[in-house]
Amino acid sequence: MSAIPQYNLSDDLEEKGWNRSEPLFSVSSGRDTLFPAGAFYIPMRSFSSEGMKILSDKPVEVKVYSENNSYFAENAALHIYSVGNTIEEAKDDFIEQVVHFYSYYISLNQNDVTEQAEQVKLIYDTHFQDISEKVA
């Protein structure tokens, strides 16, 4: 059985914001050694929950994997880690958390956050927008 090359899109947070990596076309991206076997990545830009729809100007790379009969979806830059009994449940939980934390972080004053929270707030303030009114 031959391996199918994977397209891995990676947007990582650096000190001055998002830095888009070039797509990698390879049999193994090297990340297989860092994450549980069978992990895969979903690029997501649109998040709808709680009557709100937000859009990211760059895809958010969501790592999805299974462990101990549960499914996990996560993004370390946003500090979001979700779980479900199915891939769809984990993904839905991830979306709900993105919308929840977007609402939370954009409501904070810059002086109210420190360190990691400041980085997450910067991501939400800079790269996400509420498009609920435009869609309604």
- Residue 28 within any structural domain of the chain: no
Q: Is the pTM of this model over 0.75?
A: no
Tokens matching residue 18: 């998002």
- Reference 9, options 33, 124, 19; nearest CA is 19
What element of type H or E holds 57? strand 52-67
Per residue in 109-124, is it b (16+ CB within 10 Å) or e — as a string? eeeeeeeeeebbbbbb
Q: Which domain holds residue 47?
A: 37-135
Counting residues of the chain whose pLDDT is more than 90, the rounded percentage is 59
- Residue 130 within any structural domain of the chain: yes
Q: How many domains does the chain have?
A: 1
- Residue 69 within any structural domain of the chain: yes
For residue 122, give every residue at least 6 positions away whose Cβ sits within 8 Å of its Cβ, in sequence order, or none: 17
28-40, pLDDT tens digit by residue?
Answer: 334 443 445 678 9
Q: CA–CA separation, 78 vs 130, rounded Å?
A: 17
User: pLDDT grade, residue 55 (50/70/90)?
Assistant: very high
**Which is it for the CA torsion 83, 88, 94, 99, positive or negative?**
negative
78-94, pLDDT tens digit by residue?
Answer: 999 999 999 999 999 99
